[in-house]
Amino acid sequence: MHLPTHARLAAVAAALVLVAPGAPAVAQAASAIAFPSVGVTPHAVLATEDSITHLFTCQSRHLDDPSNLPACYSPQSITTAYGFASLQSHGITGKGRTIVIVDAFQSPTITTDLALFDSTFGLNAPPAFNIIAPDGLTPFNSADPNQVGWSAEISLDVQWAHAIAPDATIDLVLAKDNQDADLNSATKYAVDHNLGDVISQSFGEAESCALPADVQTLHQIYQEATRKGITLLASSGDDGATQPTCDGSALMLSASWPAVDPLVTSVGATNLQADLTTGAYVSERAWADAFSGDFFACFPTNQLGCSGGGFSTIYQRPAYQAGFGIPRGSRGVPDVAYNGGVDGGVIAFWGVPLGPGAAFIFGGTSAGSPQWAGLVALADQLGHHRVGQIDDTLYGIAHFPPLYKAAFHDITTGNNSFANADATIITGYQTAKGWDPVTGLGTPKANVLVPLLAFGGND
């Protein structure tokens, strides 16, 4: 018989040894590129390399640079800022574990992109990188902005899951297109064949736009995944408290599906402020970049996007969210957050628009889901078992204030209200102490949180 989750968390906390993070970085950027996409909204800014230092120029900029040119982070900076570096230096690298990434269409350059990412940042190649298309691949059309957008998502997802768990196998499972039924089919294949320990899905839509049959089908797939101990993660969206209407003509107050499914851990976004050279953590606020480069705008100034969040109209509040001020009839999202700023974004290689070797700064909630998947792979390795559905453990930690402070950065600055092009405002939500519908419980202090998940959660 297992101890209750709270008792196990307390026991782990008593024995926990914190390892101080510390590691150097390598990177920099400029010039914006826009690409429309359906279902995914990674934001990318072209990164340029200094011919003398061979570093990316964005590494020498400052966050909120008045020149409107973004700063950026390397894998070494991010892993230091969030406490992964100390775990990796002690051999907690995801070895023996598999991360499944579900995306749509394909990227013809992903294998080369991943190899360039590894060689640029001094990472070993993953033990295996498998591309699986259970329903067949759609031939890539570089003139289709939807397919181009998904290829960007693939680059971001694969490279940054790998950055956090460099010795985990990566299974990229591709749906033949981005219709809900086909994405469900790809996810079902991954679950039915028990491909990996954790599944990351960086896509979504307004709850009301998904057919009830598709919602029910995916929930049944998630139930089977949960029975198998597979952890499920999804990004919460990039339009603040809104989602596009079903015809894409406007925005409406809505949470994002599948992130609202109570079996999923939903990931929102922040702007991380860390030392660009050392990665030393400084602070965070809810994601809303300080410079404009996109049609949409987050309130109160023009932004590239802001953290998705709000309350479900199709799922009731799950038991693990009781006691956090969430209405009984509504599942609240996100559960957690992660750096998603384009100003202070992450570098990834994406050869589709400009050819091999092109690097971009990426942002959005899309960046958080695969990196949280990497975090889960580390916990699986450390605990020698799948940690499974992690929400019960995450919210259990938040019920113990000292433990919560040790395991999370609580984000208390910012909101996710959204300004339409006609200046009308869709009022969203404010960050607050503890859980909020902008950044959830906050961002990870991985050197504390990973052991808590490994030893304090469900077996």
Residue 332 parent element (H or E): strand 332-333
Give yes or no for residue 297 having a pLDDT over 80. Answer: no
Locate the DSSP E strands across 380-435: 408-409, 418-419, 425-426
Q: What is the mean pLDDT of the chain?
A: 86
Indicate whether 281 belongs to any domain.
yes
What string of H, E and C letters represents the secondary structure of 252-269?
EECCEECCCCCCCEEEEE
User: What does the pLDDT look like over 272-289, one tens digit per residue?
Assistant: 999 988 899 999 999 987
Going by pLDDT thresholds of 50, 70 and 90, the confidence category of residue 25 is very low
Give yes or no for residue 440 having a pLDDT over 70. Answer: yes
Measured CA to CA, the distance from residue 433 to residue 451 in angstroms comes to 24
Indicate whether 428 belongs to any domain.
no
Mean pLDDT within 32-53 = 55
Indicate whether 421 belongs to any domain.
no
Tokens encoding 56:
């990316």
Collapsing DSSP states into helix, strand and coil, what is residue 34? Answer: coil
- The backbone region for 33, taken as left when phi is positive above 0, alpha when psi lies in -120 to 50, beta otherwise, is beta
Indicate whether 226 belongs to any domain.
yes
pLDDT over 90 percentage in the chain: 72
Indicate whether 114 belongs to any domain.
yes
Residue 188 parent element (H or E): helix 180-192
Tokens encoding 173:
């499972």
User: What does the pLDDT look like over 354-408, one tens digit per residue?
Assistant: 998 899 999 999 999 999 999 999 999 999 999 999 999 999 999 999 999 999 9
Indicate whether 240 belongs to any domain.
yes
List strands edge to edge, sheet with 72-73: 43-47, 359-363, 345-349, 72-73
Domain containing 106 equals 5-293+308-409+434-456
Give yes or no for residue 411 having a pLDDT over 70. Answer: yes
Give yes or no for residue 302 having a pLDDT over 80. Answer: no
Direct distance between the N- and C-terminal alpha carbons of the chain, in angstroms, rounded to an integer = 11
Tell me how many domains the chain contains: 1
How many other β-carbons are positioned within 10 Å of the β-carbon of residue 22? 12
Measured CA to CA, the distance from residue 366 to residue 340 in angstroms comes to 8
Q: What is the CATH number of the domain that holds 359?
A: 3.40.50.200
Mean pLDDT within 183-197 = 98
Indicate whether 415 belongs to any domain.
no
**Predicted local distance difference test score (pLDDT) of residue 114:** 98
Mean pLDDT within 327-336 = 96
User: What does the pLDDT look like over 136-145, one tens digit per residue?
Assistant: 999 999 999 9
Indicate whether 417 belongs to any domain.
no
User: What does the pLDDT look like over 78-89, one tens digit per residue?
Assistant: 999 999 999 999
**Predicted local distance difference test score (pLDDT) of residue 251:** 87
